[in-house]
Structure 1
Amino acid sequence: MTATTIEVRPVGAEELPIWAALNHRGFLSTTRPSEARLKHYQRQSAEYRFWLAYSGSTPCGAYRSWDLELPVPGAAAVPTRAIGSLSVLATHRRRGVASSFVRGALSGARERGAALSLLIPSESGIYGRFGFGAATETTHLAVDTRRITLPPAEGLELELTDDAAVRAVAPALYREVAAGMPGALPRTDLWWDDVCGLHADEDDDDDRPAVIARDQSGAVVGTASYRIKGDWSLDHQADIELQDLTAANPAAYSALWRFLADLDLTDRVLAEDRPVHEPLAWMLPDRRAITESHRTDFQWVRVLDVVAALSARAAQGPGRVVVEVADADGYANGRWLVDADEDGRTQVTATEVEAEVTLPVQTLGSLYLGQNSLVRLHGAGRADEHRAGAVRRLDRMLAWAPEAAVGHTWF
């Protein structure tokens, strides 16, 4: 077979149906993109950059990219290039299409000043070769509400409503709460409009129940959206599918879960894409009322600028460690003195001092959001220690316990 050059180029408005069709096929959709889905992509084109790969005149791959400010430990946010919906036709595997996509996105990210890149992979074995490391996990929960006991919501008022009403109050609440959960993706106006069904191409007959929690001043401190799954009968209860739950404090969190547990004719809540640090089990006398039906890696982080990335996030405590990062693509490669003070402010400078810890850039990405342990990764052979105690010292500096439990957002 004669080799053909792969050309990657931005998608014009007239090519968006081609992008959509290729993307649907690449992700094994059994249907063609509907008119509603095409309108959805057209709306997204105001925020995202869509890309197609061509082999000659044949479109053979698709992806999208966009820039965002990612919450990191310490309630700061770091410029980040997100990559999503990457697919390559089966007829064009192993021709460098995916490599062209990812390497082009990373190069463009550095040119625009991004310190990180972020993606949610469909397969976990693909993106380590580009320097990404698994940084967060997600879980699916099944909650037996017959076994839940939570106190009454004192000082809070619950308002039963729908997603359209939640749309007016949830974005501000989410922005406030998400700052306490490193890696919580920003939710744009378009995201909220789509999720809350506010576009004309949505089915207006859909029931979209939701609940809003307010404190005594009337301020919104929590929201939850849910759907009823299945039908109840005289000998069988229906399920609740939790779409989203955000709470500004433990009282609001407890009140929303109590509301869900008390819904008539239901006996189970199914909650997908929740953080693994969900506090609900610790609030219950019978913690086995909650089971994990699924747990997996979720967000993968690629550090592109060590100084900007580590200086922006807070350290859990003081310390000094010389870290050598190995990065075959050069973005993060080097030896760095990471120096944090008592307040967690971190300075990072290039140094020639002998390294105390060496690690690949993939490990740095896995550590960056604070939700993975360097001690564990060292035990797995993902880092080397050259001075006794250096791994534990750096682990203490980089660890970070999320203060929020908002649900994970898919791109």
Structure 2
Amino acid sequence: MSEFSVRAVAEGEQRACLDLLSESLHGKAPTDEAWAKMAPSWPAAGKFAAFDEHGTPVGIASSIDVELTVPGGQKLATAAVDGVGVRADWTRRGILTAMMAVQLEDLAARGVPLAALHASEAVIYGRFGYGAATFCKGVSVERPRARLRDGVGRDGVVRFVTPAEAVERVPALYNRFEGTRPGFVARPVNWWPGFFDRVVTGTDGYRVAIHSGPDGDDGFVVYQTIDARDRQAPERGAILDIRDFHAATPQAWAGLWRFLLSVDLVSAVAGRGRPLDEPIAELLTDPRAVNTTEVIDDLWLRLIDVPAALRARAYGAAGPVVLEVLDQQLPDNNGRYVVGPDGVERTTAEADLRLDVATLSSLYLGHGLFGDLALSGRAEVLNESAVARADALFHTARSPWCGTFF
């Protein structure tokens, strides 16, 4: 069996690593033109790869530095893990485990308190300490039935912008958003070329519309229309498919939905990855025009520095609890923590709840309940009265949501 080694990716090795990632995810290697657009979003920094004895990359684990909003509004440095894959003929040899270990150790050494990713498979990342921390829904709104309530979404105007204008204007607009919802990701400069510019300037027909209110531009949507006609239904309208949708105010949000639902020759407006608590049905006279097509896990989180992460977020009004945390990969996190509205400290007191770092990570942004995870055996209850307190401390009024793919 051939040997492999894991090391940081050197300058000039990025394209070979991206080709490898595309292949491992059953995609096509980027063309020269596509690579030119992707390259600014794929620097060597933050990348570790497994190389065979000939120096060929056979595995990749990549991340970029972002900021993520945690409950209470603080923005915490986070490693956005944007590409993990192993070449098909090198799987089942420990490459993924070795790469993830090196990546976690690097993040801990650099003092990065959180890591986050979008998991291709839900069974992979729990063993590395990640937990599903945000969930999202797919929606489909039946366009013919979707009549908006009087006055909804009439406080501004919506206009199309060209791809070049979108590349210039949307990043600054996105940076205006406060991002108070837990899970919100601030998009760094090197995110835009590979994940936004490439899409809106490509050949897939995406349109960009911007909403303007009394204080200027305050929301945008990126969408494409998909032809839904067939021989049995040649009159069927297109499906308007939302890719990226953010608004700084409720008025901008409602105005963009008004625009989307006013586009002619459309049978449905659909979008994946929407917030669980997005109240689209409340805009309409017929709430049954809105259908939830799926509810799926979205952002997976990993607490790299447990005490720093716990101290960074705010807590609800409840008495403190003592959590005992177990972390196989990063043993410095092991220990007991007293958590309450007044702060977080290490303690030697008896634990109320015992859980591994993946379970704590899944609860960190406010989704889910300790009680539910205790029922499933993911948290060990040592003090029954602590469960309700822990739920009150960690749960958030707004559903956590990321809204950014990486």
Q: Does 1:213 align with 2:211?
A: yes
Q: CA deviation at 1:50?
A: 3.0
Structure 1 length as normaliser, TM-score?
0.89
TM-score (norm. length: structure 2) = 0.90
Q: Does 1:380 align with 2:381?
A: no
Can you list the C-alpha shifts for 1:80-136, whole angstroms capped at 9, x where unaligned?
223232111222222221111111111110111111121211111111111111111
Given that residues 10 and 44 in structure 2 are in contact (C-alpha distance below 8 angstroms), is that contact kept between their aligned partners in structure 1?
A: no
Q: CA 1:353 to 1:166, structure 2 compared with 1: closer, same or farther past 3 Å?
A: same
How big is the shift at 1:257? 0.7
2:267 matched residue in structure 1: 267
| Post-superposition offset of 1:155 | 3.1
**Higher mean displacement: 6-15 or 60-69:** 6-15
Answering whether residue 121 of structure 2 is matched by residue 120 of structure 1, we say no
Counterpart secondary structure, 2:98? helix
Indicate whether 1:340 and 2:350 are aligned: no
**Pick from 219, 224, 228: which aligns with 1:227?**
224
1:36 aligns with 2:37: no
Greater Cα shift, 124-133 or 317-326: 317-326
For 2:60 and 2:103, locate their aligned partners in 1 and report how far apart those are by CA, in whole Å. 12
Residue 261 of structure 1 contacts residue 267 of structure 1 at CA under 8 Å; is this kept in 2? no
Cα gap change, 1:89 to 1:326, in 2 (>3 Å)? same
> In 2, Cα distance between the equivalents of 1:315 and 1:143?
36
Q: Which residue number in structure 1 is paired with residue 237 of structure 2?
A: 237
Q: Does 1:306 align with 2:306?
A: yes
Q: How far off is 1:305 after superposition?
A: 1.7
Give the CA deviation at 1:250: 2.0
Aligned to 1:132: 130
CA distance in 1, matches of 2:264, 2:40: 38
User: Is 2:25 the partner of 1:27?
Assistant: yes
Cα separation, partners in 2 of 1:193 and 1:164, compared to 1, 3 Å: farther
Q: Summarize the Cα distance change of 1:44–1:404 in structure 2 as closer, same or farther, 3 Å threshold.
A: same
Question: Matches of 1:17 and 1:47 in 2, distance apart?
Answer: 10
Distance 1:209 1:304, change over 3 A: closer
CA RMSD of aligned residues (A): 2.5
- Whole-Å separation in 1 of the counterparts to 2:344 and 2:79: 22
> Quick one: structure 1 residues 36 and 322, their matched pair in 2 at CA, closer, same or farther if it must change by over 3 Å?
same
Comparing 281-290 with 256-265, greater Cα deviation is found at 281-290
Give the whole-Å Cα distance in 1 for the aligned partners of 2:400 and 2:82. 25
Cα distance in 1 for partners of 2:164, 2:290 equals 30
Alpha-carbon distance between aligned partners in 2 of 1:236 and 1:124, rounded to the nearest angstrom: 36
CA contact (8 A) 1:134 1:298 kept: yes
Which residue of structure 2 aligns with residue 99 of structure 1?
97
Matched residue SS, 2:13: helix
Contact map agreement 2:182 2:399 (CA 8 A) in 1: no
Q: Is the 8 A contact 2:38 2:198 kept in 1?
A: no
- Aligned pairs for 1:281-360 (under 5 A) are 281-329=281-329, 330-341=331-342, 347-360=343-356
Gap change, CA 1:19 and 1:47, over 3 Å in 2: closer
Query: Counterparts of 2:47 and 2:384 in 1: how far apart (Å)?
Result: 48
- Contact kept? 1:70, 1:80, Cα under 8 Å: yes
Matches of 1:66 and 1:211, distance apart in 2:
28
Tell me, yes or no, if the aligned pair for 1:156 and 1:215 is still in contact at 8 Å: yes
Q: Distance in 2 between matches of 1:164 and 1:7?
A: 43
The match for 1:160 is 160
Encode CA deviations 1:20-41: one digit per residue, 9 max, x unaligned: 2221211112x33311232234
Q: Deviations over 1:184-226 (max 9, x none)?
A: 2222334334455479x954x765433222223x422222222
Amino acid at match of 1:135: A
Q: Which runs of 5+ in 1 are unaligned?
A: 342-346
Aligned partner of 2:362 among 362, 366, 373: 366
Among candidates 392, 395, 398, match of residue 396 of structure 1: 392
How many positions carry a matched residue from both structures?
399
CA shift for structure 1 position 52: 2.2
1:122-201 mapped onto 2 (5 Å cutoff): 122-150=120-148, 151-152=150-151, 153-177=153-177, 179-197=179-197
Cα deviation digits, residues 278-313 of structure 1 (max 9, x gap): 221233343322223332212111112222101111
Q: 1:206 to 1:28 in 2, by over 3 A?
A: closer
2:405 aligned to which of 383, 390, 410: 410
**Alignment partners' CA distance in 2, 1:254 and 1:20:** 39
SS in 2 for 1:392: helix
**CA distance 1:350–1:273, shift in 2 (3 Å):** same
Amino acid at match of 2:266: T
Task: Return the alpha-carbon distance in structure 1 between the equivalents of residues 190 and 347 of structure 2.
Answer: 44
Give the Cα separation in 2 of the matches to 1:409 and 1:270: 17
Inter-CA distance 62–399: structure 2 relative to 1 (3 Å threshold): same
